[in-house]
Amino acid sequence: MRARITILSLLLLALGVLRGLDAAEPKTLLCSKAASDGDFVTLPVEIGDERFVFVVDTGCVTSLFDKSLEAKLTVHDEAILPKEVLPGRFSVQFRPPAMNVLGTEEGSLPFPAESSLVRCIDLSDVSEACDQPIAGILGMDFLSRYVLQLNLSEGEIRLLENVSFTGVEHDAVVDLVMYTRRPFAVVWAGDIPFPALVDTGAIGATLYLTPKHYEYLRERERLLLLPLKHLVDGETQIHGEEPALIPVFQLGPFKHYGVQANGDDDLALLGLPYFLRYKATFDFSGRRLYLQKSPHFEMVDESFHSGIYLRVEEAVERRAFVEVICSGTYADKNGVQIGDRLLSINDVSIAKMSQCHITRRLSQRRFGDCRLELERDGEKFVVTLPKVGDQTPPKMEEEGEEETPADGQ
């Protein structure tokens, strides 16, 4: 009897150890602060004794370097960059220098220079969008070696060890398909499924569609065009144009309402703004995406939109004028008119802001009200766009109950 009890105890102990291993926290190799407003996710990179900023981009197969760093690279050959990586662009292949990817909080990881070939292109448009010099992009040749965890509501990015990774705390798991070494997931617009590249380098909208996707969804009323006010021959006219909203959008078991979509890309992309709603953990080797709801789970894309589109002029100083207004938004309801000149945002003059900087400031309303100082016919006035949390999401009804697809299948 005693022997049986001892054997049973050992079995229970072994089971407990195995369960403990399964529930063990994955090892963090690198931790860094990240923007919590849907801006680019970046990591510092050290080359020699110099530090640079690189964008984290799951939509890029090969890591890229800005042309300003070309002198630090070694030419490998003159193969043309495949069109599926960066449509319309090409460059020489390079061997990267010895370099380390750093965490602002903890950790440092070597870039696999000995086994990687990188490209060198002009990243000035990315630098302008970031309002800081961007020296490169960390693509899937680096990221796929780890488990990537984005917790944008907490402003944090982690790279976890993937050797013994068994999962993290989550509310749902979505299957990933690795195609051309990049992660794709099945998303739903109402009852219509289609694959989308999960792209952390896409920040302008939650969802990007190909023209064919866009027209297909519009014709079947799964996509709504927003009414925009334009000035035509001196008169204000309303047209339905981009951006558009998908009334009911779904990834895995989760539905979201009023998701913004643009329709001018070569691939359907699920962009970084979507992941403001979650703590997202990308297990590339296991082909799984773990989603845990964040405080912004109920976020509605339209509520982040200022409702105005600007025409920026370069003169002695930068000037911005309202060119288009989205009908029914807070800007429209509070009297903003086409032709109004924007002077400042939250008491900061726009005179030295880039257009990307102005657009981003107009969208950052989760932290508080957005106070716009405008001028019309020589008179100045103020319009306040309320904090996102103080707004009411648009009411959009579904056409009957839909069957919820399991884990994006």
71/126 same-domain check: yes
Q: What is the pLDDT of residue 405?
A: 39
Q: For residue 89, give its domain range.
A: 29-158
pLDDT at 51 over 80: yes
Q: Which two tokens stand for residue 214?
A: 């866009």
- Give, in order, the Cα–Cα distances in Å from 313 to each of 320, 354, 361, 386: 6, 11, 18, 27
**Domain ends where: 300, 334, 353?**
300
In a domain, 273, yes or no: yes
Same domain as 199, residue 118? no
Average pLDDT over residues 160-183: 92
DSSP 20: H
- The reply to whether 13 falls in a domain is no
Whether residue 317 sits in one domain with residue 210: no
Element (H, E) at 15: helix 2-23
On average, the pLDDT of the chain sits at: 78
Residue 12 inside a domain? The answer is: no
Whether 4 shows a pLDDT value over 50: the answer reads no
Find the range with the poorest average confidence among 180-184, 284-288, 346-350. Answer: 346-350
Q: Lowest-pLDDT range, 87-101, 157-171, 391-405?
A: 391-405
91 with 71, same domain: the answer is yes
Please check whether residues 373 and 386 belong to one and the same domain: yes
Can you give the CATH number for the domain in which 45 is found? 2.40.70.10
Strands 147-151 and 192-198: unpaired
Domain check: are 268 and 251 in the same one?
A: yes
Last residue of a domain, one of 108, 142, 158: 158
Q: How confident is the model at residue 406 (pLDDT cuts 50, 70, 90)?
A: very low
Higher local confidence (pLDDT), 107 or 313: 107
Q: Return d(Cα 118, Cα 73) in angstroms, integer.
A: 9
Task: Give the model confidence (pLDDT) of 7-18 as tens digits.
Answer: 434 443 344 433
Q: For residues 329 and 289, state if they share a domain.
A: no
Q: What is the CATH number of the domain that holds 344?
A: 2.30.42.10
Same domain, residue pair 281 and 350: no
Tell me, yes or no, whether 154 and 275 share the same domain: no
Q: Inform me whether the pLDDT recorded for 124 exceeds 60.
A: yes
Residue from 313, 357, 321 nearest 339 by CA: 321
Same domain (yes/no): 196, 273: yes
Read off φ and ψ for residue 83, nearest 5 degrees: -65, -30
Pairing of strands 177-179, 172-175: unpaired
Q: Distances from the Cα of 124 to the Cαs of 92, 129, 136, 185, in angstroms? A: 18, 9, 10, 30
Q: What does the chain come to in residues?
A: 409
Would you place residue 368 in the very low, low, confident or very high pLDDT band (cuts 50, 70, 90)? low
C-alpha 291/C-alpha 100 separation (Å) is 29
Cα separation, 257 vs 398, in Å, equals 10
Confidence of residue 400 (pLDDT cuts 50, 70, 90): very low
Counting runs of H as helices and runs of E as strands, what totals does the chain give? 7, 29
Q: What percent of the chain has pLDDT over 90?
A: 33
Regarding beta strands 156-160 and 28-33, do their DSSP bridges make them parallel or antiparallel, or are they unpaired? antiparallel
Q: Classify residue 349: in a domain, yes or no.
A: yes
Encoded amino acid at 38, one letter: G
Under 8 Å between Cβ of 128 and 359: no
**Whole-structure pTM value:** 0.75
- Are 44 and 33 in contact by the 8 Å Cβ rule? The answer is no
Query: Which has the minimum average pLDDT: 137-146, 189-198, 346-355, 369-378?
Result: 346-355
pLDDT band with cut points at 50, 70 and 90 for residue 366 = low
pLDDT band at residue 222 using 50, 70 and 90 as cut-offs: confident
Question: What one-character DSSP code corresponds to residue 181?
Answer: T
Asked which of 27-41, 98-112, 148-162 is least confident by mean pLDDT, the reply is 27-41
> Once rounded to an integer, what is the mean pLDDT over residues 1-5?
45
Same domain, 125 and 189: no
Q: Is residue 150 part of a domain?
A: yes
Do 139 and 175 belong together in one domain? no
* pLDDT mean over 221-240: 63
Q: Which residues pair with 10 in a beta bridge?
A: none
Number of structural domains the chain divides into: 3
Q: Averaged over 40-62, what is the pLDDT?
A: 93
Last residue of a domain, one of 123, 140, 158: 158
Would you say residue 5 lies in a domain? no
